[in-house]
Structure 1
Amino acid sequence: MKSVLIFFISLFILMFYQATPLLAVSDPLAVPNNRFGIHIISASVDESSPSASLVNSNGGDWGYLTVLIESGDRNVNKWQEFFNDLRRRHLIPLVRMATYPIGDKWKAPVVGEEEVWADFLNNLNWPTKNRYVIIYNEPNHAQEWEGRISPKEYAQVLDKTISSLKQRSNDFFVLNAGFDSSTPHQPPNYYDELRFLTEMNQEVPGIFNKLDGWATHAYPNPGFVGSPNGTGRGTVRSWVWEQQILFSLGLNKLLPIFITETGWKHDEGQQFQANLPSIESVSDFYINTFQGAWSNLRVAAVTPFVLSYQSPPFDHFSFKKWSDNSWYPQFEAIKSLPKVSGKPVQINSAKLESGEIYSSLVSGESYQIPFSFKNSGQSIWGDGNKIELRIINDELRINTAVSLPEDQKIEPGQLTKFSVPLTAPKSGIYKFYLQLYRDNKPFTSDGWSYNTEIKSPVTLVVKAGLGWKNDASGKYLLKINSSTGETIIEAVLSNSGQSEPIEARFLLPDYSFDFTLSKPFYTSKTVHYMVYSGTNTLEFGSLQPNIFSVLLNPQELWNLLPFSNKTTQPCELATQPKNC
């Protein structure tokens, strides 16, 4: 009766605190959230692949994955590749910090360890905006803290680690170490959780208000074989009892609950244990609890322990059979449960690598403006989302959008190109705004703004001569190179070596271009000019004859020579002797 009373009092407290907003970076419960998850041992595709199959099944997306990182395994390249794999599979990592084992104990963290952890974790591009970090494990067990128990020491370590992480980024979503709520008070090996939490708060007053969420180990005790309907301390609802304690110690906000460890022992493993529940019973327990105790709206994630563990002491918790690559019924049971398609907040940002809306355009001219962007955020562009580049001008009522092709997926660090159409108005100065959108929402990175003046077109006059020749008349090719590409037009020069004005509407006023003039059997010549609205004269000087190009063509060779300026040609070079 007492436990039932405590349970309802706790529920009342939780309901009362519903009005208190969460002060975390991004409330995972404020968006569609898939609470299904799993605890893994190995950061590998062998475990991430079946994990995604398990937690993102039957309507689910973006489930959770609890994974341990030891201090000796802080390899940025390794973990970035694993995070990239989780990003592709839509899995949210809950990273539990760990030191390293010394015999049958775990080393306690050393002074300054929090700074090393913060630098390492901050160097990773996480799959979601919230970077979930669990600060060590069950410190009310001496085995987890180098053979000793110290609530004061853990409170200090937690406080320093929170500060170090938050100094690097406010996106770190910090969770406490999950406690063993069932452990008896038997120092120096075990410490009652209530006493432990109380002494933590005495050492660092308000320490629990610095957390963003609450990690809990809601094992069904006693013996990991308790009822799926249990209430109170040491049950699948341990977190309700823990929240009651935290509120009594001054917690002033409602923390999302992360059940990072839980699960039942089953009878199958390397050694069959008839005293444990059958695999069919455990399967039913999971269904009952996911639909009951763990369906509470405050529960953000449930990651049962463990996906695959093939030897004692945890083979009886394993979802994967030790004898082959198949799964126990609990895997398929959880897989079949209806799930939510999660929509975790991700940072959508881009770096403009090349391209601009030009500072001057020609009135009435249509352009295809090229842009190149690098994905500098967390999401994969085109992975179940619509990515658009928009050019916006409210005055002209322009809102032109170009979508990323459906067959493209652009991961963080990769480049993609857009070509945006824009037709210049008749006149004036305008401000254009460039922004990327995901599913009609602007990226978190700032957009780009440009001031553009509409001008009259550029007109070109080409002036050139021909070496050894008095008459420069004829057809020439004018090649124009710019950042947007290459254009070739024909220029007809008079005998004085000057063309008629050529309107070049495709040229941008006040921009520089390379102009190359060419004529057969003459060496091309390139000049560099900034052009302006109105008439621009391009002075090429003389194009010199290319003798080597006509050595096997006597007629053209003659035409290049200075003698060809005369009206007759010598018979020895004539191609038709009858004309001599």
Structure 2
Amino acid sequence: MKILTSVVFALLFLLTASTTVGAVVDPRTAANNIHGIHVIDENDLDDASKLVNSSGGEWGYVTIVIREDDQNLDKWQKTFDRMRELHLIPLVRLATKPEGNSWAKPTKESADDWVKFLSSLNWVVENRYVILFNEPNHAKEWGNELDPEGYARILYFFHQKLKEESDDFFILPAGFDAAAPNSSGTMEISLYLARMAKSVPGVFTLLDGWASHAYPNPGFSGSPQGIGKGTISGFSWEVSFLGRYGVSNNIPIFITETGWVHKEGKVDKVLGYDSEDVGNFFKQAYTSVWRDPRIVAVTPFVLSYQDVPFDQFSWKKYNSNEYHSQYQVVQAILKKNGQPQQIHDSQFIDTESLPEKLVTGSSYSFQIIVKNTGQSIWADEDGFSLGVDGDLAYDVEKIVKVRPFEDVRIMLNIKTPEEKGLRIVDLQMMHDGKPFGERIENQIDVVAPPSIIVRAKLWFKKKTEGDDFRILLYRDNKVEKEIVDVSIVDGESKTIELRDVIPDRAYRFVILKPFYLPRQEQGYLSENIITVLSFERMLPVDFNKDGSFSVGDILEGLRHPLQTFSLLAPI
């Protein structure tokens, strides 16, 4: 039966391997900050960022555990969003839940729930790093069983389910305890891996990277220069061993757990290293063994653990807001400014922002509404802008900060030439000069300006004349244009060309003159058409010049009787 099962998995592997193309990004192809930390509580992310993104570093890594009974989409999306703000890359380790004194074995049936949950999150970077469970060569981590064949099948099954959903899932295996012996509760790593490979041939070549628990053994107190299995360079031995099963020696390596125990804790120990020694060990490791170019991330265990059995691993002091000296030592190590690949995407909300016609020799301001539908946070300082491709003069408002799924209103200022003709104005978001997201293509006809003639009457005056009239053009209750010092003789103005307006639209025109109540008229503007605006008779009762008639006007008129008489006289 076991032979038949192996043959079946071998056939399945050959079929899927020939049709599946990995779309993950090798994080080593861009600037990468290998520094990271293992976090138990998402409330520790700010301190994690101060550690791993210090001394020139950006975009460090955080290993964080999500249990199957904690698939709270709102909670974890907020956590991811916070990591995005802090420039932290999540390495998500899947976990089941405790059953008695062990962790339950994951089941194939649970894979669909995991895939649905993980796919519903807007991840921080394009690679969705997923670690499939923890140290299965410990029986207590696998339903109190040592079952390498079972873990191989789960690894294969979860890999297939996740990749079917998205090739962006970057699949890592569980980290193994490389120091574990063969016993009733543990299995030596090489035996465990060999049985996995025999049970599901090719299973290791499916992986996008290798997760290693490169602890300094024995007793988590080994040398920072240790070499071989069970040391802080144990990842190298593991990958070399996997070479016999088709794994490339250049596979990306993630040290998702490592670290030395220190004497300080809930109850201080008499023997062992103090945190200052541990800090120096980390410094040696980062500047020697962990400079291996295959390493993508090193996330020591653990930033804060305030109880046994892991208080001696904690970087944070017991019952304190302060950290052991290893925190400051690692914080001071020079780091790289990581440049992980993110998905940039956008959608225009108002696709009719730009009109089909504009007027020659005019200036316009348009509000372009765009939605951030990707992973990145847009800001001008990070190279994001609204790109304009066309043959009109323009300038664009800078973007301040736009998070995923937020809208931004960007002011686009356009100046048209004096010549008529069709012009192109295409819009698309840009990052570092490269376009992304939806593209809007616009053809704008630059046409001759429309014109108006204003006809007005003042009270019962025999003649209506003056050069202090003003015309306001409203659209959607907003002033679009103001024309000042309009001269009217015998109740009519000269022909007035209108620049800076949008033709083939209706406007509300309001005429103003000092001491007179305003009047309004609707008008439609078209190119080469003279629109005649005939306003109702204007009444000279706005003595306080506030645009309306009230008791205040009566009082003001009484204060200045000669002026009032002059305005009301029919001559």
TM-score by length of 1: 0.80
Distance 1:335 1:244 in 2: 32
**How far apart in 1 are the matches of 2:454 and 2:489?**
10
Please say if 1:437 is aligned against 2:433.
Answer: no
Determine if contact 2:428/2:439 at 8 Å carries over to the other structure.
Answer: yes
Deviations along 1:151-210, one digit per CA (max 9) or x if unpaired, are 3332332233333333443332221111112222335x3233333333333444433333
1:244 matched residue in structure 2: 240
The residue aligned with 2:111 is 114
Query: Would the aligned equivalents of 1:175 and 1:215 in 2 still touch at CA under 8 Å?
Result: yes
1:413 to 400, 405, 408: 405
The answer to whether structure 1 residue 457 and structure 2 residue 453 are counterparts is no
Partner AA of 1:120 in structure 2: F
Matching of residue 298 in structure 1 with residue 297 in structure 2? no
1:507 aligns with 2:501: yes
Partner-residue secondary structure (3-state), 1:445 = strand
1:308 paired to 2:311? no
Is 228-237 or 372-381 further displaced after alignment? 372-381
Q: Are 1:23 and 1:253, in contact at CA under 8 Å, matched by a contact in 2?
A: no
Instruction: Decide whether the 8 Å contact of 1:517 with 1:524 is kept in 2.
Output: yes
For residues 400 and 206 of structure 1, do their structure 2 counterparts lie closer, same or farther at Cα, with a shift above 3 Å needed?
farther
Task: Return 5+ residue gaps in structure 2 as ranges.
Answer: 1-20, 542-547, 555-564
Partner of 2:440: 448
1:77 to 60, 74, 77: 74
Choose which of 129, 132, 137 in structure 2 pairs with 1:135: 132
Deviation at 1:342, TM superposition (A): 1.3
1:154 matches 2:151: yes
For the pair 1:327 / 2:326, whether they are aligned, the reply is: no
Structure 2 counterpart of 1:427, which letter?
Answer: K
State the secondary structure of the residue aligned to 2:51: helix
Question: Is 1:199 aligned to 2:198, yes or no?
Answer: no
TM alignment of 1:522-541, pairs within 5 A: 524=519, 527=522, 529=524, 531-537=525-531
Mapped partners of 1:301, 1:399: distance in 2: 47
- 8 Å CA contact retained: 2:456, 2:464: no
Q: Does the alignment pair 1:341 with 2:334?
A: no
Q: Structure 1 residues 383, 499: closer, same or farther in 2, change over 3 A?
A: closer
Shift of 1:38: 0.8
**Are the counterparts in 2 of residues 209 and 253 from structure 1 also a CA contact under 8 Å?**
no
**Partner Cα separation in structure 2 for residue 272 and residue 549 of structure 1:** 84
Q: 1:268 to 1:367 in 2, by over 3 A?
A: same
- Residue aligned with 1:66, SS: strand
Query: Larger deviation: 286-295 or 509-518?
Result: 509-518
Give the C-alpha shift of residue 135 in structure 1. 1.4
Indicate how the Cα distance of structure 1 residues 157 and 541 shifts in structure 2: closer, same or farther if over 3 A, else same. Answer: farther
Alpha carbons 2:453, 2:530 under 8 Å: kept: yes
1:120–1:538: structure 2 CA closer, same or farther, 3 Å change rule?
farther
Matched-pair contact (CA < 8 Å) for 1:216–1:257: yes
The answer to whether the aligner puts 1:486 opposite 2:480 as a matched pair is yes
**1:392 paired to 2:389:** yes
Deviation string for 1:499-518 (max 9, x for gaps)? Answer: 64321122223344444568
CA gap of 1:234–1:545, structure 2 versus 1, over 3 A, is same
**Separation of aligned partners in 1, 2:342 and 2:59:** 12
Q: Distance in 2 between matches of 1:444 and 1:52?
A: 29
Structure 1: where are the runs of 5+ without partners?
Answer: 1-21, 555-573
**TM-score normalised by the chain length of structure 2:** 0.81
Match 2:222 to one of 217, 223, 226: 226
Q: Select between 411-420 and 545-554 the one with higher mean Cα deviation.
A: 545-554
Residue 280 of structure 2: aligned partner: 284
Residues 1:30 and 2:24 are matched in the alignment: no
Residue identity opposite 1:213 in structure 2: G
Q: Pick the aligned partner of 2:398 from 392, 395, 404.
A: 404
Which is worse superposed, 351-360 or 317-326? Answer: 351-360
Secondary structure of 1:54's counterpart equals helix
Question: 8 Å contact 2:481–2:501 — kept in the other structure?
Answer: no
Per the TM alignment, residue 330 of structure 1 is displaced from its structure 2 partner at its CA by 1.6
Tell me, yes or no, if the aligned pair for 1:178 and 1:260 is still in contact at 8 Å: yes
Query: Within the alignment, does 1:145 sit opposite 2:142 as a pair?
Result: yes
Q: 1:120 to 1:528 in 2, by over 3 A?
A: farther
Q: Deviations over 1:126-150 (max 9, x none)?
A: 2222222211111222211222233
Indicate how the Cα distance of structure 1 residues 351 and 228 shifts in structure 2: closer, same or farther if over 3 A, else same.
Answer: same
* Deviation of the 1:400 alpha carbon: 4.9
Check the 8 A contact 1:482/1:513 in 2, yes or no: yes
2:236 match: secondary structure = helix
1:51 is paired with a residue whose SS is helix
Cα 1:271–1:453 shift into 2, 3 Å: same
Alignment CA distance shift 1:551-1:445 (3 Å)? closer
Which residue identity is paired with 2:40?
I
What is the alpha-carbon root mean square deviation over aligned residues? 3.6
Match of 2:54 in 1: 57
Distance 1:420 1:237, change over 3 A: same
Partners in 1 of 2:526 and 2:167 — Cα distance? Answer: 50
| Structure 2 equivalent of residue 165 of structure 1 | 162
Contact 2:139 2:145 (C-alpha < 8 Å) held by counterparts: yes
**Maintained 8 Å contact 1:523/1:546:** no
Taking the aligned partners of 1:399 and 1:537, their CA distance within structure 2 comes to: 29
The answer to whether structure 1 residue 424 and structure 2 residue 424 are counterparts is no
Would you say how many aligned residue pairs link Structure 1 and Structure 2?
Answer: 527
- Contact 2:394-2:415 at 8 Å conserved across structures: no
Report the CA distance shift for 1:518/1:142 in structure 2 as closer, same or farther (over 3 A): same
| Moved beyond 4 Å, runs of 4+ | 398-401, 461-466, 468-478, 490-495, 497-500, 514-526, 538-554
| Contact 2:393/2:416, CA 8 A, preserved across alignment | no
Determine the C-alpha separation between the residues in 2 that align with 1:575 and 1:301. 86
- In 2, are the aligned partners of 1:390 and 1:399 still within 8 Å (CA)? no
What's the CA shift for 1:523?
A: 8.8
Match of 1:570 in 2: none
Q: 1:61: how far off?
A: 1.5
